[in-house]
Each structure stands twice: as structure tokens, then as C-alpha cells.
């Protein structure tokens, strides 16, 4: 039985709580469009000083004393990330070798995470500690939820409890990402990597990327609320 179809107070048919997911779907579609259109636009705008993403990252890391943090190129479009376990900033090919506004902005953002790690930024530490819990919970939650729809009992409530860990992870991710972007803009400005006009453009790139995390958090929260409402209705 699919979670959108169930029996419990409304009869067999469409689950009316699905209406909660509609805003999340629309926001997710908009966020994906926004990040794609904005990053593509500024991939075509060359940075004034001609810095590549790799050069930007190395400059920021070295100026913050993070000489031990390596920079590696990885495959995939916008697959950029900072790995705190290996102390590595990994940049996608277009970002690593590109000298566009998008390239240097994304590279600086990942360095923002490296600086957070070096300074013991609490939300980042919390998020990192949640990773093994979330990996387990995200795999198991929907198994229990489906069992709850099929068999009833306490399976649904257990699934909701496990899913809550994923929601918490999404919420904690928001300050981590926003703070990394703030650090990125501050670093690029103070080091003269961008001028005043380019700061505005870099902010647009980073805000568009941040919107995807907002959409993910909103989706998770509304899905959790929907599951709680379903569980309450089944109990009634």
C-alpha cells in the first residue's frame, strides 16, 4: 500500500493530507530551477581577477592557516563538498578549473565549511554527529512506515520516530550552509578576490544554492507533519 493511499477515517482513496506536500513540491521545483538558472548564468561570467575555483580555494585556505586541507577535483556537476573526515575540499571539474563567478563562489563556500570545521562551529559538529544516525534512520524509517500502513500496530509510530532524525538533520543543515556562505563572501571580499559588483553576483549564486536546502527542510517538516496526522487519524 502506498503512503498516499490508505484506510483510516476517510475510507479507501486519496489521502487528504497529501495537500501538505503540494507547497513542498512547488518549492522544490522552484529551488531546482533557481539554482540551475543562476549557476548557469554566472558560469558564463568571468571573475574580474581571473581566479579559478582551485586558486580561490587555496588562497582562502592558506590565508586562514589551513595549509593541511587538500583540494581535489571530482566528477559530476556541482558535486562540490568539504569532507571533514579527510580534510579535503572536493571541487567539481567546472568549479575547479573554471574562472567564473559561479566557480569561485562555490569554491569559497566549501572553504567556508573547512573554516567552520577548524573553528569547531557547533552546528557543523552536530550535523556531523548525526550522519551515522541519519544514514541508519533514513534507510529504516520507510520500511517501518510501510509496515505501519500494511499491518498497523506501532510500526508507523516507530517509522515516524526514525524519520524525525532526518528532519532534524535537514534543520541543522540550514545554519551550517548559510554560515558557510557568509564566511565565503567575507573571505572573497577581504582577500580582494571579488569587487563590489561581483560580491552581489556571488551572493546571488550562494542564495540560489541555499534555497535547495530550505526546500529540503520544508519538505521534510511537512512530510513529518503529514505522517503524524495520518498516525493520529488511524488511532482515532
Match 554566472 to its residue by C-alpha cell: 42
Helix axes 101-118, 53-63, angle to 10 degrees: 30
Cβ atoms of 176 and 121 closer than 8 Å: yes
Please give the distance of CA 114 from its chain centroid, rounded to a whole number: 16
Query: Taking the CB of residue 25, how many other CB atoms lie within 10 A of it?
Result: 13
Secondary structure class of 5 (helix, strand, coil): strand
Number of residues that make up the chain: 236
Cβ atoms of 123 and 142 closer than 8 Å: no
Q: Is 153 left (phi over 0), alpha (psi -120 to 50) or beta?
A: left
Match 568549479 to its residue by C-alpha cell: 95
Looking at 59, 110, 177, 198, which residue is catalytic?
Answer: 110
Beta pairing class for 88-92 and 81-83: antiparallel
> Does the annotation count 54 as an active-site position?
no
Q: How many CA atoms lie within 13 A of 72 on its CB side?
A: 15
Backbone angles phi, psi at 81, to 5 degrees: -165, 165
Active site residues: 110
Amino acid at each position: 500500500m502506498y503512503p498516499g493511499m490508505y484506510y483510516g477515517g476517510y475510507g479507501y482513496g486519496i489521502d487528504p493530507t497529501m495537500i501538505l506536500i503540494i507547497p513542498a513540491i512547488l518549492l522544490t521545483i522552484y529551488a531546482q530551477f533557481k539554482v540551475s538558472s543562476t549557476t548557469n548564468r554566472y558560469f558564463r561570467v568571468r571573475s574580474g581577477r581571473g581566479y579559478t575555483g582551485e586558486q580561490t580555494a587555496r588562497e582562502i585556505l592558506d590565508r586562514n592557516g589551513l595549509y593541511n586541507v587538500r583540494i581535489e577535483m571530482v566528477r559530476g556537476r556541482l558535486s562540490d563538498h568539504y569532507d571533514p573526515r579527510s580534510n579535503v575540499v572536493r571541487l567539481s571539474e567546472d568549479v575547479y578549473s573554471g574562472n567564473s563567478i559561479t566557480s569561485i563562489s562555490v569554491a569559497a563556500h566549501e572553504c567556508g565549511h573547512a573554516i567552520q570545521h577548524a573553528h569547531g562551529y557547533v552546528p557543523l559538529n552536530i550535523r556531523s554527529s548525526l550522519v551515522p544516525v541519519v544514514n541508519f534512520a533514513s534507510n529504516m524509517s520507510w520500511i517501518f512506515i510501510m509496515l505501519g500502513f500494511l499491518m498497523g500496530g506501532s510500526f508507523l509510530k516507530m517509522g515516524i520516530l526514525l524519520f524525525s532524525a532526518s528532519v532534524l538533520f535537514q534543520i541543522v543543515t540550514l545554519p551550517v550552509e548559510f554560515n558557510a556562505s557568509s564566511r565565503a563572501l567575507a573571505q572573497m571580499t577581504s582577500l580582494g578576490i571579488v569587487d563590489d559588483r561581483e560580491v552581489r553576483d556571488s551572493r546571488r549564486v550562494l542564495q540560489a544554492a541555499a534555497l535547495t536546502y530550505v526546500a529540503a527542510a520544508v519538505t521534510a517538516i511537512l512530510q513529518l507533519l503529514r505522517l503524524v496526522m495520518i498516525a493520529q487519524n488511524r488511532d482515532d
